[in-house]
Amino acid sequence: MYDQGTSPLCIIKRRRVYVWQTLIFTFQPPHTMSSTELPASFHLPDLLSTWPWLRRINPHYLDVKEESAYWLQSFNALSSKAQRAFNACDFTLLTALSYPDFDKEQLRTASDLMHLFFLYDEKTDVESPSGVQAIANVTMNSLRNPSSHRARDEPLMGEVMRQFWRRASKSANKNAQRRFIEHFDLHTKAMTQQAEDRSRNYLPMRNIKSYMELRRLTIATRPAFTVLEFFLDLPDEVFQHPSVDDLITCGTDLIILSNDVYSYHVEAARGDAGHNIITIVMNDLQVDLSTALQCVEGYAENARNRFINGLVNVPSFGISVDEQLSIYLHGIGNCVRGHDSWCFESERYFGKVGKDVQKDRLLYIDPSLQQLQSQVAIGHTITV
């Protein structure tokens, strides 16, 4: 569902997070290169400053964490380094914060899915486009045919998906199952496209509009949101309505923007920030880091307002459907808040000082770093 990199590349010193690798993008520009000196620190905008859904955590968190983590580890799919990163990320914490009202079985489904996302990203992140496509083919075949025997020599994701879906589909209604398969298929296609972008050093650079179109699929919120409807019964007409679709898009965009802002220093440190809204804005609009952050804050404010105001404009689909739709949409609100909280409460992006960073919202750059280089293309303003 979210950025699935390896362990945070940062050194923790008291309450400061220091990026420790040289922040130099490797993009070969079609136009010109410009260098921008890194600030001594930069402020992380609070993208959910007016978000009415508060931080809550599911009471089944610890029990499900043990069960779901054991399930993923049973595949012996991770290197020791990746396993340490996995443990620090605590993806069950993400699901417990995002789905605070789920019962234990529902939370187990959501947690297993989050672990599946992590493993999928881990396995595809270093693959060529053809390698990612091969993994996608196996994964989707298993999702569509969960009773089929998986070949020993095929990518492991086939068996991971088979086990997940055999368990999850038992409690999901047929419409939700179909939509989950459709959304996951779009996610795998987007991940293959991201691999293609990566193989070309993200050239030609995407502009804001095309980046967000792709990122809305690589972020995997649509299949993650579908888990909310596994235990409901919402007809297709609900999701086909423009007002509902826009609410889902706004929720997705808020998760994208916060994920990209909080992960930017980690991705830049390892030279892998090409698929990040901060990089895209800097290049598309020819602005520095501070201005790019201000732009992203503006995009988030727009998405927040559209979501909150849009809730009152959702048409009626009948009393029964309306009640279920309300549960679903408020569930998206919880997911947005849950993701934001997890970014600071896990060790994913800020090590052990995430709560301190959340409080003062400052990141400090190691002064030994000299410059941040980024590609500058022809800039133009595009509304996300």
Give the span between the Cα atoms of 105 and 111, in whole angstroms. Answer: 10
At a CB cut-off of 8 Å and minimum separation 6, what does 308 contact? 50, 52
In a domain, 381, yes or no: no
In a domain, 382, yes or no: no
Name the residue among 181, 158, 150 with its Cα closest to residue 168.
181
Average pLDDT, the chain: 85
In a domain, 1, yes or no: no
Whole domain around residue 315: which residue ranges?
10-376
Inter-residue contact 29 to 377 (CB < 8 Å) = yes
In a domain, 367, yes or no: yes
Give pLDDT, residue 236.
Answer: 96
In a domain, 38, yes or no: yes
Would residue 296 be called left, alpha or beta, if left means φ above 0 and alpha means ψ between -120 and 50 degrees? alpha
Give the span between the Cα atoms of 381 and 292, in whole angstroms. Answer: 12
Q: In what order do the strands lie in the sheet with 362-365?
A: 10-13, 16-19, 362-365, 41-43
pTM (2 decimals)?
0.86
Give the span between the Cα atoms of 18 and 161, in whole angstroms. Answer: 37
Inter-residue contact 23 to 372 (CB < 8 Å) = yes
Q: Where residue 80 falls among pLDDT bands split at 50, 70, 90?
A: confident
pLDDT in tens, 324-334: 999 999 999 99
Which residues make beta-bridge pairs with 42?
A: 363
Helix, strand, coil percentages in the chain from 3-state DSSP, rounded to 5: 60, 5, 30
Name the residue among 196, 183, 181 with its Cα closest to residue 124.
196
Unique residue bearing structure tokens 């992203």:
296
> What Cα–Cα distance (Å) separates residue 352 from each residue in 17, 249, 349?
10, 32, 9
Inter-residue contact 115 to 83 (CB < 8 Å) = no
Name the residue among 21, 38, 32 with its Cα closest to residue 372.
38
Tokens coding 241: 């309505």
In a domain, 264, yes or no: yes
Q: What is the dihedral of CA 172, 161, 85, 348, to 10 degrees?
A: -40
In a domain, 365, yes or no: yes
- For the cut 90, the answer to whether the pLDDT of residue 38 exceeds it is no
In the chain, DSSP assigns E strands to 10-13, 16-19, 32-37, 41-43, 362-365, 371-376
Span 361-369, average pLDDT: 65
Tokens coding 36: 């921008």
pLDDT in tens, 109-165: 999 999 999 999 999 998 999 999 999 999 999 999 999 888 988 999 999 999 999
In a domain, 150, yes or no: yes
- Total number of domains constituting the chain: 1
pLDDT in tens, 236-275: 999 999 999 999 999 999 999 999 999 998 888 777 888 9
CATH of the domain at 206: 1.10.600.10
Kindly state the DSSP code that residue 43 receives in the 8-state scheme: E
- For the cut 80, the answer to whether the pLDDT of residue 302 exceeds it is yes
Inter-residue contact 216 to 253 (CB < 8 Å) = yes
Q: Where residue 21 falls among pLDDT bands split at 50, 70, 90?
A: very low
